[in-house]
Amino acid sequence: MYARIPCKARPSILHTVFHETADETVETMDTARGDMDSMLSLFDFSGKLAADLHITPQPAQQRWDIIRVIEDSSARGDLPAVEKAFAELQTPPGGDLLAHAPGSALLIAIQNQYPPIVEHLLEHGAQIGENHIKIATLKRNTVILDLLLAYGWDVNKQLEWASPPPMALAVENSSLTAWFLSQGANPDARCLLDYTPLSAAVQYASFPVIRSMFAHGGSIHAGQLLHYAVRRDSQDSLEVLSYILSKGPAINDIMYQRDLVSHGQQMMFGLGTALHEAAERGKLEVVQVLVEHGANPSIKDTLGHTSMDRAERAGRHSVVVYLNSLTPGSSTL
């Protein structure tokens, strides 16, 4: 057994802080209280503002009225009115701050396609956001896109966590896609998910655009291209599928299998192979091509379903019959 040590003789942290006698403890606590009182005296708890304290005033109603003038003038394409109102907006106090976000003026000018006003707003500090890029791309206005580039827009920056850079919005227009590629747009630039402009092209763009994007550095190992080829619904879908297969994708990979972030976010929705998608969509010819290239019907998706399971659930009878015929000793339905 351990021998009991008298409390007085036992060393402890308490002895280090408060010493060994009650008198010394009281003295130490009094000293600490005095130090705290002196510290608190440095603060003013009265709720009154010091006379020399400067608070930046909020914009007066007049400034919001000026911003509305800028917005209305941007909608009309009235550059002189924009210039005049913007000059008023930039007067102190706070004018420079408001110039970075003059309401919706920049978006309105882009929407109505007035490059001189866009340039004026950018020149005086208006900040570029994702919606500005989206609208300019959808409007197919390369003059405005050139301005956005000149003022700092990154052509390879994702639009949102599930939206890749804006070339993905341009792939159905060959000339706009060519413009993006000429400006250094990367076909494999992705968003948080493994989804790229080339992914969008494989599903939606013309065959020449797809080939052009591969010629500009597109990779079969980025963007889940085989899955998006399966989703393609145009008349040349089998031709594009064969083209993608010729580049050697991992035909039996579950979607996002090699991208842990994307896989972790989407696995609860039932990620499968390209064959899973083709079977569920009832694309018998696509299913046959995939099987001929080595697709394995027995692989289960992240919810435990085979390609046959998905086809049955979706009522794809012809696909069910074909897949069932691949199993030795099975009978067709």
Residue ranges covered by each domain of the chain = 61-153, 155-249, 254-333
Does the domain formed by 61-153 have CATH 2.40.40.20?
Answer: no
CA distances from 260 to 91, 117, 254, 269, 299 (A): 51, 44, 12, 15, 19
Residue with tokens 């297969």: 245
pTM of the model: 0.78
Report the distance separating Cα 81 and Cα 76, nearest Å.
10
Does the domain formed by 155-249 have CATH 1.25.40.20?
Answer: yes
Taking a C-beta distance cutoff of 8 angstroms, is the pair 155, 185 a contact?
A: yes
* CA 146 to mean position of chain CA atoms: 23
306 contacts: CB under 8 Å, gap ≥ 6: 276, 297, 298, 299, 300
- How would you write the pLDDT of the chain (333 residues) with one tens digit per residue? 434 333 333 344 333 333 344 444 444 444 445 555 555 454 444 454 444 444 444 455 677 888 899 999 999 999 999 999 888 887 766 555 566 777 799 999 999 999 999 999 999 888 999 999 999 999 999 999 999 999 999 999 999 999 999 999 999 999 999 999 999 999 999 999 999 999 999 999 999 999 999 999 999 999 999 999 999 999 999 999 999 999 999 999 999 999 999 999 999 999 999 999 999 999 999 999 999 999 999 999 999 999 999 999 999 999 999 999 998 755 444
CA distances from 240 to 203, 234, 236, 249, 284 (A): 9, 10, 6, 13, 16
Q: Which fold has domain 254-333?
A: 1.25.40
